[in-house]
Amino acid sequence: MSTQCLRVGVGGPVGSGKTALLRQLCSAMREHYNLAVVTNDIYTKEDAEFLMHHEALDIDRIMGVETGGCPHTAIREDASMNLAAIDELQHRHPGLELVLVESGGDNLSATFSPELSDLTLYVIDVCAGDKIPRKGGPGITKSDLLIINKTDLAPMVNASLEVMDRDAKKMRGDKPFVFTNLIRGDGLKTVIDFIVQQGMLAEREVNVVVTEQI
């Protein structure tokens, strides 16, 4: 079975906010698009269970993949488990338009195979320090959209958003990036607009209602 729906890869280090992003995206887009989620964890299906617990989508629209070993292998060198999960979701839900594929937490070198992901979002967080954008790596420099999350915590960790903005521009050139606070939904509309427009879903307008997640 072919995988013709739009596939959006969501990568980033452990704790950066990938699952929080998926929860917000699902909540905002589920009434407008036929969508599903695949999560990747090394030994558990914890992220999938988190989304189910918070009712981000119906349970049969969320699949967890236990990758074993190094998590980036399942999204890059051998994406077969993820592709099989997408095929299963398409079988369950004819007309599926969008699948969000969350990678397991990994380092800045993780990338998605083009076979698996049409667009890649990469999430970093302010708490890791304002030096992160200038460290580079494929996630920083080559992702389609870089998401710099947890902006509200910048004062607490002495991180400069101005420095991160400057370095992100330097490292990414013309590629877009956005600052977010995904708990409150700050910046979420920008992420959704990017997916809709760059994923060529723009012919169906999304009237996004951003709500704070507790």
pLDDT by residue (tens digit) across 52-88?
Answer: 888 889 999 999 888 776 667 778 778 889 999 999 9
12 annotated to bind ligand? yes
18 annotated to bind ligand? yes
Confidence of residue 185 (pLDDT cuts 50, 70, 90): very high
* Assigned domain for 211 exists: no
* Assigned domain for 33 exists: yes
Alpha helices in the chain (DSSP H): 18-29, 46-53, 80-92, 132-135, 138-142, 161-172, 188-198
pLDDT of residue 203: 60
13 annotated to bind ligand? yes
The number of folded domains in the chain is: 1
* Assigned domain for 204 exists: no
Q: Which of 52, 66, 60 is nearest to 19 (CA)?
A: 52
Domain holding 90, by residue range, is 6-198
CA dist list (Å): 52 to 58, 84, 91:
7, 20, 20
| Contact of 13 with 124, CB cutoff 8 Å | yes
Q: Which of 142, 138, 48 is nearest to 101 (CA)?
A: 48
* Assigned domain for 213 exists: no
| Contact of 64 with 36, CB cutoff 8 Å | no
| Contact of 190 with 15, CB cutoff 8 Å | no
pLDDT of residue 202: 64
| CATH number, position 43 | 3.40.50.300
Angle of CA points 165, 177, 128, to nearest 5°: 60
Residue-wise pLDDT tens digits, 24-46: 999 999 999 999 999 987 656 77
10 annotated to bind ligand? no
pLDDT of residue 210: 56
* Assigned domain for 119 exists: yes
